[in-house]
Amino acid sequence: MKREIIAGNWKMNCTKAETVELIEKLLPLVGDPGKMEVVICVPFTNIDAARKALRGHKGIKLGAQNVHWAPKGAFTGEISADMLKSLKVKYVIIGHSERRQYFGETDESVNARLKAAVAAGLKAIVCVGETLEEREAGRTREVLLRQTSAAFEGIDKSALKQIVVAYEPVWAIGTGKTATPKEANTAAFVIRKALRKQYGRTPAHAMRVQYGGSMNASNVKELMAMPQIDGGLIGGASLKPEEFAKIVHYDEL
């Protein structure tokens, strides 16, 4: 059995004080997450405050939302893997569609960031997903195969246990529209197909694939019931403590 993983992507939300407040509300609600792996990916500036607020609570891991490929240097505004590690960050999101859409992230830069993250011993959540235009043009499969293969180029099989893939259809992010469980399952299957081609059946099957895009307490159960889906990457609903805790404990819904 693969360990399921629910990760919150806070995006560009919360000041330092709001971060502490949100985590203090979240901790008793999440309580013991049992077998579920739980991660919150906060803005860089809130990592230290989040780490302190999470201290003593083993159930929630700390994540960041991006990482640069170089160890250091003249890259104004960027953050290195070692900087994240020095703040006890365990996870990092790479290639989120908002980075691809608004900040010029490409398949190549996603690959470079992933290499740096795994080399530093971070765990990575690599995001792939088609736009509405691509889906309507019947190009979903092609896009997922391309994005997945490109992201993993040159990544050694031994690093796969450090990586989770998030299928995030761009048209479902922050829109209230969710992929149907069947659509999400098919997409996760296509992602595994790309991984199978590169690494073989067993390693591809062992990898965890999350669904992301307007996941909430009302749709989590049916999405998680899909055989190809091993977790969720939650945006909007991760900022609502009650809702996020329900998602973590979806088996009790």
| Residue 243 is a binding residue for ligand PGA (CB under 6 A) | no
Read off the tokens for 195.
Answer: 């991984």
Read off the tokens for 135.
Answer: 């889906």
Q: Please choose, out of 59-67, 113-121, 192-200, 228-236, the segment that lies near ligand PGA by the rule CB under 6 A.
A: 228-236
Q: Under rule CB under 6 A, how many of the chain's residues touch ligand PGA? A: 13
96, 134, 243, 249: the active-site residue? 96
| Residue 43 is a binding residue for ligand PGA (CB under 6 A) | no
243 is catalytic: no
Q: Please choose, out of 43-51, 153-161, 212-220, 240-248, the segment that lies near ligand PGA by the rule CB under 6 A.
A: 212-220
| Residue 168 is a binding residue for ligand PGA (CB under 6 A) | yes
| Residue 95 is a binding residue for ligand PGA (CB under 6 A) | no
User: Which one among 173, 191, 217, 247 touches ligand PGA, defined by CB under 6 A?
Assistant: 173
User: Which one among 43, 63, 212, 231 touches ligand PGA, defined by CB under 6 A?
Assistant: 212
| Residue 210 is a binding residue for ligand PGA (CB under 6 A) | no
User: Which one among 214, 217, 228, 230 touches ligand PGA, defined by CB under 6 A?
Assistant: 214
- State the DSSP string of 62-129: EEES---SSSSSS-TT---HHHHHHTT--EEEES-HHHHHHS---HHHHHHHHHHHHHTT-EEEEEE-
205 is catalytic: no
Distances (CA, A) of 77 to 16, 44, 88, 150: 19, 11, 20, 25
Three-state secondary structure call for residue 164:
strand
| Sequence-ordered alpha helix ranges (H) in the chain | 16-30, 47-54, 81-86, 97-102, 107-119, 132-136, 140-152, 181-199, 201-206, 220-224, 241-248
Active site members: 96, 168
